[in-house]
């Protein structure tokens, strides 16, 4: 059998694409390594997904799963190892089987780059965060540290300073990597932000919630009391198996047309965190998933 569409990824983008594809009557298969994607962490609370004042990532993804299953979409939980294009068709190789389709939506997401220090995992959702948009508002009048002095770290610190009483940017290098203009804006307009250089992070400590971080600066061991730690040292898009099949950005994100979610390869579309869209959020992933499925429908109808 040749499917109209194979969607790779069972996170918000892939699930939404599946729901839309089914409603367009497409013969569609959704394959994902694991259901739910990044949100399946029980300690993550979502407060910016419309319709829910507050819901755990796990519960939100369970609701999305129920809707997909209830629509009767065909789902397989397995890893995609390879996608090949031959003429106008695609061969998708899983660890167990292979399938064929006329089009593909890649919705494989990404993962935040972890710091790898003691306490990081333990305090995730209890003071440690990788996402300022998601968790920044929870730190009103609190002291927070942003780990990473690149562009993302500076942007995060600026955003956080409208809530927090004090924001530290901790950078391991002898200078920050953020642009000169960003540095100038921060030093002239953001008095709450303080940059500390040559920091070797050691651990994150606390009780119920984060209370302090411990780092080395030269020979000194410094204990800095903070309520929150925002780790901003980059993310890794799950795009390596598509390298060579579609064009990637210098950050290894899949380049898409923002209106249609088309990639550089005809018949392949991409949605969600794996794409080069600027905002990595659930609603955006869902929006791109919907857009990609509608574009597939138009693409197949034109053929
Ligand atoms: C700790 C944390 C807190 C967050 N908090 C919020 C928040 O409060 N609000 C918000 O809007 N956003 C939040 N985010 C961001 C949000 O999780 C992402 O924007 C969203 O999950 C992106 O959805 P996605 O479908 O693009 O990718 P993902 O959720 O990453 O899903 C990717 C899917 O692809 C599958 N996959 C990957 N590679 C393969 C392969 N080779 N074969 C088969 N399947 C594969 C995965 O198993 C998964 O099913 C948070 C993220 C984290 C990590």
The CATH number of the domain holding residue 184 is 3.50.50.60
Question: Given this model, what pLDDT does residue 43 score?
Answer: 62
163 and 226 co-located in one domain: yes
Task: Verify that 71 and 140 share a domain, yes or no.
Answer: no
Residues 225 and 262 in one domain: no
Do 108 and 141 share a domain, yes or no?
Answer: no
State the distance from the centre of ligand 1 to the C-alpha of 129, rounded, in angstroms. 15
Rounded to whole angstroms, the Cα distance separating 246 from 89 reads 15
- Last residue of some domain: 203, 231, 259? 231
> Does the residue 18 lie in any domain?
yes
Per-residue pLDDT at 191: 95
Tell me the CA–centroid distance for residue 4 and ligand 1, in Å: 25
Q: Residues 110, 238: contact at Cβ < 8 Å?
A: yes
The domain boundary, picked from 173, 201, 231, lies at 231
Give yes or no: residues 266 and 254 share one domain. Answer: yes
Domain range for 154: 128-231
Query: Rounded to the nearest whole angstrom, what is the distance from the C-alpha of residue 209 to the centroid of ligand 1?
Result: 24
Instruction: Please indicate, yes or no, if residue 122 is contained in any of the structural domains.
Output: no
Task: Work out which ligand 1 atom sits closest to the CA atom of 272.
Answer: 26
Cα of 285 vs centre of ligand 1, distance in Å, is 8
What's residue 278's pLDDT? 86
Q: Is residue 167 part of a domain?
A: yes
Residue 209 tokens, joined: 């919630």
pLDDT at 235: 87
Instruction: Report which ligand 1 atom has the smallest distance to the Cα of 48.
Output: 9
What is the position in ligand 1's atom list of the atom closest to the CA of 271? 26
**Which atom in ligand 1 lies closest to the alpha carbon of residue 288?**
26
CA of 64 to the centre of ligand 1 (A): 13
pLDDT of residue 42: 59
Report how many domains make up the chain.
2
Q: What is the pLDDT of residue 162?
A: 94
d(CA 96, CA 100): 14
> Would 118 be classed as within a structural domain?
no
Mean pLDDT for each 10-residue chunk of the chain (303 residues)?
97 98 97 91 80 93 95 96 95 95 97 94 94 92 97 92 96 91 91 96 97 96 98 94 97 97 98 94 97 98 87
DSSP string, the chain: -EEEEEEE--SHHHHHHHHHHHHTT--EEEEESSTTGGGG-TT-EE-SSTT-SSEEHHHHHHHHHHHHHHTT-EEEE--EEEEEEETTEEEEEESS-EEEEEEEEE---EEEPP---BTTTTTBTTTEES-HHHHGGGGTT-EEEEE--SHHHHHHHHHHTTT-SEEEEE-SSSS--S-HHHHHHHHHH-TTEEEE-S-EEEEEEESSSEEEEEEEETTEEEEEE-SEEEE-S-EEES-GGGBTTB-B-TTSPBP--TTT-B-SSTTEEE-GGGBS-S---HHHHHHHHHHHHHHHHHHHHH-
Active site residue ranges: 131, 134-135
Taking the CA atoms of residue 23, residue 26, residue 27 and residue 31 in that order, the dihedral angle to the nearest 10 degrees is -70
Which among 234, 271, 282, 284 is the best mutation to test ligand 1's pocket, defined by most ligand atoms within 8 Å of the CB? 282
Which residue, by CA, sits nearest to atom 53 of ligand 1? Answer: 38
Do 38 and 80 reside in the same domain of the chain? yes
Q: Give the pair of three-digit tokens for residue 247.
A: 């064009």
Measured CA to CA, the distance from residue 167 to residue 258 in angstroms comes to: 34
Q: What is the pLDDT of residue 303?
A: 76
Does 117 reside within a domain? no
Pick the atom of ligand 1 nearest to 135's CA.
8
CA 25 to ligand 1 centroid distance, Å: 26
What residues does ligand 1 touch, defined as CB less than 6 Å away?
8-14, 31-34, 37-39, 41, 44, 46, 48, 79-80, 107-109, 112, 130-131, 134, 238, 241, 272-273, 280-283, 285
Q: Closest Cα to atom 51, ligand 1: which residue?
A: 38
Q: 89 and 31, same structural domain?
A: yes
133 in a domain, yes or no? yes
Q: Is residue 134 located within the same domain as residue 81?
A: no
| 69 and 156 belong to one structural domain | no
Q: Please choose from 56, 109, 228 the residue to mutate so as to test ligand 1's pocket, defined by most ligand atoms within 8 A of CB.
A: 109
Note whether 7 and 107 are same-domain residues.
Answer: yes
HSE (CB half, 13 Å, CA atoms) of 205? 11
301 torsion bin: left (phi>0), alpha (psi -120 to 50), beta (else): alpha
Within a domain: residue 225?
Answer: yes
Least Cα distance to 295 among 263, 246, 261 occurs for 261
Residue 41 pLDDT? 66
Residues 45 and 69 in one domain: yes
Q: At what angle do helices 12-23 and 282-302 cross, to 10 degrees?
A: 40
62, two tokens: 């369970």
Would residue 209 count as lying in a domain? Answer: yes
| Ligand 1 pocket: which of 15, 133, 134 to mutate (most atoms within 8 A of CB) | 134
* Pair (181, 216) in one structural domain: yes
Residue 186: the pLDDT is 92
- pLDDT tens for 255-278 read 999 999 999 999 999 999 999 998
What is the spatial order of strands in the sheet that 220-225 belongs to? 200-206, 210-217, 220-225
End residue of a domain, out of 231, 249, 267: 231
């Amino acid at each position: 059998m040749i499917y109209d569409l194979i969607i790779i990824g069972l996170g918000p983008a892939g699930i939404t694409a599946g729901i839309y594809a089914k409603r367009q009557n497409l013969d569609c298969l959704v394959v994902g390594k694991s259901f739910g994607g990044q949100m399946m962490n029980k300690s993550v609370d979502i407060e910016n997904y419309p319709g829910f004042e507050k819901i755990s990532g796990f519960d939100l993804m369970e609701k999305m799963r129920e809707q997909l299953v209830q629509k009767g979409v065909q789902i397989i939980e397995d890893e995609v190892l390879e996608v090949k294009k031959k003429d106008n068709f695609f061969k998708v190789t899983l660890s167990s089987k292979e399938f064929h389709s006329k089009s593909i939506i890649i919705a494989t997401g990404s993962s935040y780059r972890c710091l790898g220090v003691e306490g990081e995992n333990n305090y995730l959702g209890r003071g440690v965060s990788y996402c300022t948009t998601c968790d920044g508002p929870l730190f009103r009048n609190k002291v927070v540290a942003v780990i990473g002095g690149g562009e993302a770290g500076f942007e995060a610190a600026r955003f956080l300073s409208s809530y927090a009483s004090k924001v530290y940017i901790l950078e391991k290098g002898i200078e920050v990597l953020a642009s000169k203009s960003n540095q100038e804006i921060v030093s002239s307009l953001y008095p709450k932000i303080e940059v500390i250089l040559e920091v070797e992070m050691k651990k994150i400590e606390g009780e119920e919630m984060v209370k302090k971080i411990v780092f080395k600066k030269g020979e000194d061991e410094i204990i800095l009391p903070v309520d929150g730690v925002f780790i901003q040292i980059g993310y890794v898009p799950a795009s390596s198996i598509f390298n060579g099949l579609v064009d990637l950005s210098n950050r290894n994100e899949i380049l898409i047309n923002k209106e249609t979610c088309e990639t550089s390869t005809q018949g392949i579309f991409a949605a969600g965190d794996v794409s080069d869209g600027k905002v990595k959020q659930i609603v955006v992933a869902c929006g791109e998933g919907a857009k990609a499925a509608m574009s597939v429908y138009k693409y197949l109808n034109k053929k």
